[in-house]
Each structure stands twice: as structure tokens, then as C-alpha cells.
Amino acid sequence: MNNYNQEQPVNKRVANLNQTFQGYTDHTTGHLSLVNTNTDCIQSCPFTYLITLVSWIEQEKLPENLRQPQDLRNNNLRTDLITYLDNVQENSSLKQKIRKLHLSRLSSFSEYFGEACFYPIIDYSLPPNQVYQVVNAGNYLQKNTILNQENLKQQVVLIGTAGYKDSGLSKNHSDTFPLPMGVAYWRIQNPKSGFLQDFTGVEINAYMIQNLIKQNLVIPIPDFLMIGIAVFLSKGMQLLLLQHQYSKRDSRLFIALLAGGTLVYTLISMQMYISLKLLLPLFLPYPLDFVGCG
């Protein structure tokens, strides 16, 4: 993306867009890259979103009239793909899955103001080894690592440059990021996993693609909403306490009820995350892994 937030095409000497897909990797920190409801993805499209579409197409086994990348073509491959998917039957399973990857109107509205309210976040709750397998390029080229070719046909393969001194990236563009708390926990549990010390951009994309393919869209409830509810309830309890006089026994019972209510809220929050993919904050503000609005 350039300074005007416009997607820059790849150099034709590197890849022909009539035979390859191009997508941008810029995204709001901690959030998935989705498209607005009114965006057709022809002019600009997230890389992880495109990878998800291609993966679903492979799973659905669509008709052979869908043009393939290796064909001699005169049209932009991404344009043809999006146009083809726009004409897929509305009641098809593929169309329903694609519809879920579009931002809600509320999220699109908040994004217009530069905010990320109700915007799905990257879910790092799964251990890395259940999301992706790290293969050292040097070991693979020297045939020290053997991969099952049949399994590769069902997998998404990402090639990253982080961790390689000769990759051509400068120190200011090292493609490494702070380690998310969830991933840090899993690495502590499995110290011999063989992962790099830093958390790389290709690993972030791997988590994003896994979330999108599995339609694991976790939506955080914004801090300001929960703070507003807490202020309202606190004010109500204050007025209730001022209107009545309580004994020490009643006060202890009231404190016990507050503690019990906190426990119930925690259990409800966990169940809402598991069942509804809604993330209620247990502590304010959110931990670094889970960003609300802003």
C-alpha cells in the first residue's frame, strides 16, 4: 500500500497478475483482515482473505469452467475470481461462508472513523503446532526435511523471510513483532517446539488464515460499552445503599454477593467465548492481545 492507502501492483517482471493473485498484508494490529459489505475486492483485497477464498474453492470442487492460473489469459485473475464468485448461487454453502467474512455494518461504520469496534480479532488460543508447521527453507532445499506431498495438496503454504539474514530486509523492516500473550503461553508449555524467538509476520498470517478458513471470528465487546454498564450498575447500587441502612451481617452478605456475581460473570464470559465467539473483558482495559476500539 502507498501513502494514499492504495494497493500497488507487483512488478510485471516478478509476477503476471493475469496468472497470479495479489493482495495486501496491511491490517489493524490484533484484528483479522476482512472486507466491507459494499467492497467487491476487485480493486483491493486482503492477502489472507484471498487465500481463504482459494482454499474454499479447492474444498468445494467447483466446476471446471473456472479459469485456472496456469491458463494463457488476458484478464486479471483476481478480477475473474471475484466476478465468478459473485455469480455463485446465493443459497450455496460457499456463498454463505463468504458472506460471513464481510464486516458487519456496525464494524464498517466504526472503521469509517478509524476505529475498530466489534471488529473480529486474531484468536491465538490454539497452540502454534495445531495451526501451522514451521519448515526451515535451508533444511528443505538440502532435503533434510521431508514433507508428505499428498498432505501438502490440502494445506496452505506460506513463505516468509523472517529469520533469514540474507532475505534482503533491513532492520527497520524485519517482519518480526511482539509475541502475543497466548502464543507466549503455548511456547512456554512446549519449549522444544523449534520456533524462532521472535513472532514473525508469516506466523500472524497463518493464524489469520486458520481463523478465516474455520470461520473462527471472535468479536470483542468494546471497553467503553462495558465501562458504561459498570457505571450504571454502580450508581444503582450506590442509590440503593443510601436509601437503606444495613447491619454488619447484611454488609458481609452484600460483599459475598458481589464476589459471587464476579465469579458468575467470569463463567458467563467464558461460555460466551466458547459458544458465541463473543469476548467480554474480564479486566479493563483489554490485555495487549485483545484490542477494543482505537
Q: Are 212 and 52 spatial neighbours (Cβ–Cβ below 8 Å)?
A: yes
Grid cell listed for 201: 509476520
Grid cell listed for 122: 486474531
pLDDT at position 1 is 55
Question: How far, in Å, CA of 159 to CA of 88, rounded?
Answer: 31
Phi-psi region of 95 (alpha: psi -120 to 50; beta: other; left: phi over 0): alpha
pLDDT at position 151 is 74
pLDDT at position 289 is 43
93-124, pLDDT tens digit by residue? 888 888 888 877 767 666 666 666 788 899 99
In 3D space, the residue among 156, 142, 135, 145 whose CA is nearest the CA of residue 54 turns out to be: 156
Burial (CB < 10 A; 0-12, 13-18, 19+), residue 41, is buried
Q: What is the mean pLDDT of each run of 10 residues along the chain (294 residues)?
A: 63 78 81 79 88 86 61 74 84 85 73 71 91 81 76 82 62 76 86 73 92 90 78 78 70 80 88 86 56 50
pLDDT at position 209 is 95
Q: What's the pTM value of the predicted model, to 2 decimals?
A: 0.80
pLDDT at position 6 is 62
